[in-house]
Structure 1
Amino acid sequence: MTATARSRRGVRSLAGLVCGALAAGGLAAAGATALQPGQARASSHREAPLISADPQHDNTDVYAFVSPDKPDTTTLIANWIPFEEPAGGPNFYPFAEGSQHDIHIDSDGDGQGDLLYRWTFDTKTKNGNTFLYNTGPVDSLDDPDLNVTQTYDIELLRLKDQKVVSTTKVADDVPVAPSNVGKASMPNYKKLRDEAIRQVDGGGTAFAGQADDPFFLDLRVFDLLYGGDLSEVGRDTLAGYNTNTIALQVPTAELRQSKKQPIIGVWSTTQRKNAKGGWTQVSRLGSPLVNEVVIPQKDKDKFNASHPWNDADFLPYVTKPELPKLLQAIYKLPAPKEPRNDLVSVFLTGVKGLTMPPNVRPAEMLRLNTSIPPTGSPKRLGVLDGDNAGFPNGRRLTDDVVDIELQAVEGELLGNKNDLGDAVNVNDVTFGDTFPYVALPTSGSRGQLAKKKNGDDAARSALDGGAAVGSSTSGSDGPSDTLLIASASAGAAGVLLIGLGLAWWRGRMRRRGVV
């Protein structure tokens, strides 16, 4: 069986699950009440006006997956601070002090949090009379030459009906891995990262520190959908940028309701003190891209600040999404008929028989079925390619959520077969096999001179316009045969033009002087 055939079998399988949910009335409540409780789905790299001006509180992505090397545990990862330029000193990128970095768990499907893991950070400076982040080479986390240090506490809050029932401290004064200043300052950064991986109470493992940004995509989608003529695709815009990561690996039994009800919902929030001394939620995140490309400008800040039980305000943006209309206007791809109950199933309730808990209250959240074991050969298209351990069943680092969501938005689950994608299929750096799984952060600079001199960065990617290792990028901003419409089969050399016609496309580009 070919890879394409396997992909189509996976699509048919998921489509059948969705149709089954519709037929069984599982989405009958998808009208005025469909989005009431739950959490936001957004990959917030500058996705809303207010939070784009406050990057330290901006959580960029959330991941939840059954740990591949410890399948009796679940790994939760949340990232903060988008677009960290590696050379961004002298202050680099500390976690926000005096704020609450939270990961929420809904273990019964009612859209309300049952568990909440809360990180709070504390910063210390040894010598305030120097501008330096470190005053010499740093060999360990307690090295006196590491001038600016951070530690964190983790609290586990148990909730019922949105009220705290109990609070338990599971980690106290744990060191944060510092920003990766460079080879002279931190000659063995991996050693520093390894020292920051700590055991916490309750049988868990925790990490907080800088990492390579694991999200891979071409953000030039915002230039009228890849330049309006497919000339801007295939480059991982986040290659070479870092982010701040918190990661927690806990026994799965601590998260789920029971073996009979193994599905959990996961999202993250950031809260900071307001002028009155109370807490204000300023960022909110579950799954990728919704606040960026689904929620309109007028409601983006409201979306970030709102609580799950108010999500009904945003329902029309899911059932009547803007993106398919843009694809039709720009690329003549017919928009599926509305209302989009197929997207309600994928984004709000979970897919029946896979990620939909019993008696679910529809809401946007990253849903994970913890009873599905990890696979040794994950497929980047996850459930769409028959890999039920991947997105939208949770989210692994390797899941190509951009391609998955583009294909779903264009009606893949309704029988509208397509291979939409941004031609960026893998991260620019290989992920790890053990906790915390994220790749080490880039050091130095993303500039052209740094590319020639920083030999240790050669195995990552040619930064700032170069080719991402293992991806289908063309390595420049100029035209190439790498298109927005990319094959779901890795063996197909990454490019198929679906729905447009290659001859028509080339003729159009020649008339425009692009090719």
Structure 2
Amino acid sequence: MTKPSFAFTPLLAALLMAAVGPVGASSHREAPFITTVPKVDATDFYMFRSYEAGRDDHVTLIANYVPLQDAYGGPNYFAMDPNALYEIHVDNNGDAKEDLTFQFRFTNTLANAGAGVTLPIGGKNVAIPLIQAGQVANVRDASLNLSEKFTLTVVRGDRRTGTASLATNASGGATQFDKPVDNIGVKTIPDYAGYAAKHIHTVNIPGCAMPAKVFVGQRQDPFAVNLGTIFDLVNAPVGVITNPELINAAPNTIGDKNVTTLALEVHKSCLKAGETGDDVIGGWTTASLRQARLLNPRPASAHQASEKPGGAWVQVSRLGMPLVNEVVIGLKDKDKFNASAPTGDGQFIDYVTNPTLPALLEIALALPNIAPTNFPRNDLVTTFLTGIAGVNQPRNVVGAEMLRLNTAIPPVAFAQQNRLGIVGNILAGGNDNAGYPNGRRPKDDVVDISLVAVMGGLCVANGTTNALGFGTDCTPAKVPLSSTAFSLHDAVDQAVVTLLPGFPYLNTPLPGSK
């Protein structure tokens, strides 16, 4: 079981990454193999009670893929992989197995029945080299040379052997949904926000009486991190990263990047195991490729015809809580973790109970003897593998790494959300228990929360009342860092990232030109 210690890793990512090599933010480029196939690289996973007005009885699930997209990345931009299987899994009974899986498959075809848009040149019709032949404003615009569509399959039970049914468009019953082209620039798509909004689909989920929403498309990367500084052995003065007044002292390194978002908004009752089911659900996202991938030495004249896949699906990416594989799992086991399922997390337990990140932080900051010694780190196991009793722990829980969300805890309006999630709520004595690690909202500053947690800050928050159920593991002798643990940060404030007030919540992607 591995995820706990990650939860505290965004800043510490710098430390481990210094030994591993350059990587992206959050869970971008977190394992050796995934760096070779960025189209199936999951960057972030979010799961939270919807806080859009009038939608608070829904749960939003967001899986982001294809990291570090430069807005000007033409002429082919960042279409999803039609030879991949993208999935969002939900465990609604605490046994670390998926009970509900949402599968996304993509089809990318050229216009004119695969011939593409052509122009008459010297008496011949010649295919154009771009994915657009003019301005774009509508779904399936005639100016688009490339049509991107997807299907959404709902699987109940095991993701490979369970009962599978296609979700349908609530308007017309279609089983294919249109994906907007990436934000090429303001001349091609003058009103990208309006254009993208036309691709938010209301859908019928098989077995669910309430309609859902789905959106797949490019978004501005919602994650904020002081990437270069952090990965350079936390190359920042201790006086800066422990001063709460300087939480926004540095620019967001990835503020100029886009990602591709798979977003769902589903009524909470459709995610639980019936009316009397547990209110706590777990969630994670995976991506899989075919076991055999042959390169065609003579590809046909078509879109992405150089590869001929075959064989069984092989999972190559896994992401629940942020930064787990990136900065908690040892380098030798990173590919293994990406291929694993939550039921097998016992093989990774040492990375959680005996994490290396605190010791790496001691080295990076030249501050000996600040790392907690309350081994095994049961505070991390409780918070990040089983959930916190009374907050987001299922009735019958099997320890495993995934986001866990209590769907009975009401959402908090964006303006009132505490950027430090449950940690910040404890400190402020407030009423916001709807944040990380109880699920994850876009505003939750998981970098700073993770820093607090990995250095024993949750033990300090637990206090003499044992509010988080950590028992006697959090004695001052074993957790030497005092309340100053709550001051640790990466000098980049997640709370100032631009977001939308409603579904799909993540901001309009940056354009290729302005």
Q: Same fold (TM over 0.5)?
A: yes
Question: For residues 101-180 of structure 1, what are the structure 2 equivalents within 5 Å?
Answer: 101-126=86-111, 127=116, 129-159=127-157, 164-171=161-168, 172-180=175-183
- Residues 210-267 of structure 1: per-residue CA shift (max 9 Å, x gap): 0001111112255343226568972311101000001011111000124562000000
Q: Is the 8 A contact 1:37 1:112 kept in 2?
A: no
SS at match of 2:362: helix
- Residues 18-70 of structure 1: per-residue CA shift (max 9 Å, x gap): xxxxxxxxxxxxxxxxx3999x9894211111101110010111100011121
Q: Is the 8 A contact 2:404 2:437 kept in 1?
A: yes
Does 2:439 match 1:439?
A: no
Does 2:227 match 1:193?
A: no
- 1:183 matched residue in structure 2: 186
- 2:259 matched residue in structure 1: 243
Does 2:434 match 1:384?
A: no
- 1:20 matched residue in structure 2: none
Q: Report the Cα distance in structure 2 between the residues aligned to 1:429 and 1:342, rounded to whole angstroms.
A: 30
Q: Quick one: which amino acid aligns to residue 398 of structure 1?
A: K
- 2:295 matched residue in structure 1: none
- Tell me by how many angstroms 1:164 deviates: 3.1
Q: Quick one: which amino acid aligns to residue 222 of structure 2?
A: P
Q: Is the 8 A contact 2:436 2:444 kept in 1?
A: yes
Q: Report the Cα distance in structure 1 between the residues aligned to 2:280 and 2:259, rounded to whole angstroms.
A: 28
Q: Quick one: which amino acid aligns to residue 290 of structure 1?
A: V
Q: Quick one: which amino acid aligns to residue 452 of structure 2?
A: Q
Does 2:439 match 1:394?
A: yes
Moved more, 151-160 or 272-281: 272-281
Q: Do the aligned partners of residues 49 and 345 (structure 1) sit closer, same or farther apart at CA in structure 2, a change above 3 Å counting?
A: same
SS at match of 1:432: coil
Q: Quick one: which amino acid aligns to residue 372 of structure 2?
A: P
- 1:76 matched residue in structure 2: 61
Q: Is the 8 A contact 2:372 2:456 kept in 1?
A: yes
Question: For residues 457-496 of structure 1, what are the structure 2 equivalents within 5 Å?
Answer: none
- 1:54 matched residue in structure 2: 37
- Tell me by how many angstroms 1:145 deviates: 0.7
Q: Report the Cα distance in structure 1 between the residues aligned to 2:498 and 2:351, rounded to whole angstroms.
A: 35
Question: For residues 213-362 of structure 1, what are the structure 2 equivalents within 5 Å?
Answer: 213-220=221-228, 222-227=230-235, 229=237, 234-257=250-273, 258=275, 261-275=278-292, 277-331=311-365, 332=367, 334-337=370-373, 338-362=375-399
- Tell me by how many angstroms 1:330 deviates: 2.8
- Tell me by how many angstroms 1:307 deviates: 2.1
Number of corresponding residues: 410
Q: Is the 8 A contact 1:110 1:360 kept in 2?
A: yes
Q: Quick one: which amino acid aligns to residue 218 of structure 1?
A: N
Q: Do the aligned partners of residues 240 and 224 (structure 1) sit closer, same or farther apart at CA in structure 2, a change above 3 Å counting?
A: closer
Query: Which runs of no fewer than 5 residues in structure 1 stay unpaired?
Result: 1-34, 446-453, 455-515
- 2:408 matched residue in structure 1: 371
Q: Which of 88, 105, 108 is the aligned partner of 2:73?
A: 88
SS at match of 1:77: strand
Q: Report the Cα distance in structure 1 between the residues aligned to 2:272 and 2:220, rounded to whole angstroms.
A: 30
Q: Report the Cα distance in structure 1 between the residues aligned to 2:495 and 2:74, rounded to whole angstroms.
A: 25
Q: Do the aligned partners of residues 124 and 428 (structure 1) sit closer, same or farther apart at CA in structure 2, a change above 3 Å counting?
A: farther
Does 2:42 match 1:66?
A: no
TM-score by length of 2: 0.76
- Tell me by how many angstroms 1:426 deviates: 2.6
Q: Percent identity?
A: 40
Q: Report the Cα distance in structure 2 between the residues aligned to 1:428 and 1:442, rounded to whole angstroms.
A: 17
Q: Do the aligned partners of residues 36 and 413 (structure 1) sit closer, same or farther apart at CA in structure 2, a change above 3 Å counting?
A: closer
- Tell me by how many angstroms 1:120 deviates: 0.4
- 2:215 matched residue in structure 1: 207
Q: Is the 8 A contact 2:230 2:490 kept in 1?
A: no
Q: Report the Cα distance in structure 2 between the residues aligned to 1:393 and 1:336, rounded to whole angstroms.
A: 23
Q: Do the aligned partners of residues 236 and 403 (structure 1) sit closer, same or farther apart at CA in structure 2, a change above 3 Å counting?
A: same
CA RMSD of aligned residues (A): 2.1
- Tell me by how many angstroms 1:406 deviates: 0.8
Q: Report the Cα distance in structure 1 between the residues aligned to 2:108 and 2:78, rounded to whole angstroms.
A: 12
Moved more, 149-158 or 123-132: 123-132
- 1:100 matched residue in structure 2: 85
Query: Which runs of no fewer than 5 residues in structure 2 stay unpaired?
Result: 10-25, 118-126, 169-174, 206-210, 242-248, 293-309, 426-431, 461-481
